[in-house]
Amino acid sequence: MGRTVQTRRETLTPARFIPPMKALGVNAVPAADAWHCEIKFDGYRAVVLLNDGRPELWSRNQKPLDYPELLPALAKIKCRNAVLDGEIVALDAKGHSDFQTLQGRALGERPAIVLFLFDILQLNGRRLTAEPFERRREILEKLLGKGSGPLRLSPSFDVAPAKFLAETRKQGLEGMILKRHGSPYEPDRRSGAWLKVKNINEQEFVIGGFTPPRNSRLYFGSILIGYFDRGKLLYCGKVGSGFDGRLLATLHAKFLKIAVPDSPFANLPLARRPRFGQGMTPAVMRMVTWLKPQLVAQIKFAEWTQDGILRQPVFLGLRADKSAKQVRREVAVIGQ
């Protein structure tokens, strides 16, 4: 991923993949005087590598991202090499990032794609991760300007986090990211220098099986989902909403390739029927087609029950940018 650039003046360190820093999920707004506020986007995290005007896009787990419409604009950034951090999104009619709209691309749709850039880790051979946030932001702003077309500079606000969160909720946004004043960039760490606060219960879950179709629905009825805890996949509900006919067919074809004879969930059958939804008894389980726990789905839901089951879950799309083994239960939104 890049080569050393020979010049008359120096030999530059090429831009190579740096694992992105992670935000720690919290359910309380911290004090107002220590944080920069940013919008939490709902898309794919992207690490951008630039070497001699040749851009590359990589996911957070170092898989190539195929968004060719972004490459011409990235190639025009005036630098010899750079490593940038951002989020690839599709914007809905209100101008908000929307994961379901982004997923339409996999079904042959062509939503307008935007890359919001919010950090810079290397520029012209110089590593910047030890620099404080404000200095990195200054360098990024100088490099990009305000951005245009498919490239945008992610806005940063110096306001009270509680006030900013209230505004994101008012506008129907997913939530906010907080970045501590003066903090360095910590690759592949979730140190608490970056925090995420959500307005909407939404996260990734692992698909471990599906039920047969009922009534007029084709292909399958619901997917069974879970998350990993201490190396074990724990069941947390069935999802039957969020699918249209084309999506049912596409997912079913993927499922048949990874079918297995036994349940991957460590906590099934359930000891008792949950308050909401159908219980996963041995009789119900005999109707399920089990899957290798490889596919990761983005799910929106109302809340977690006391039984550890999701209420009113809705399928938003598959995530190719996160490994199933990395999926954990996240904290609830504020006020839940």
> Rounded to whole angstroms, how far apart are CA atoms 270 and 277?
12
Amino acid (one-letter) located at 225:
I
Task: Report how far Cα 197 is from the mean position of its chain's Cα atoms.
Answer: 14
> Rounded to whole angstroms, how far apart are CA atoms 209 and 108?
25
Amino acid (one-letter) located at 51:
N
Please list the helix, strand and coil fractions of the chain in percent, rounded to the nearest 5, in that order. 20, 35, 50
> CA distances (Å), 27 to each of 160, 327, 335, in order?
16, 19, 8
- Structural contact between residues 59 and 44, judged by C-beta atoms closer than 8 angstroms: yes
CA angle 93, 312, 104 (to 5 degrees): 35
Specify whether 257 is catalytic.
Answer: no
Closest C-alpha among 292, 275, 269, 302 to residue 210: 292
> Rounded to whole angstroms, how far apart are CA atoms 295 and 210?
12
> Rounded to whole angstroms, how far apart are CA atoms 298 and 89?
14
Determine which one of 22, 40, 196, 232 is catalytic. 40
In 3-state terms, what secondary structure has residue 138?
Answer: helix
> Rounded to whole angstroms, how far apart are CA atoms 177 and 14?
30
- State the catalytic residues: 40
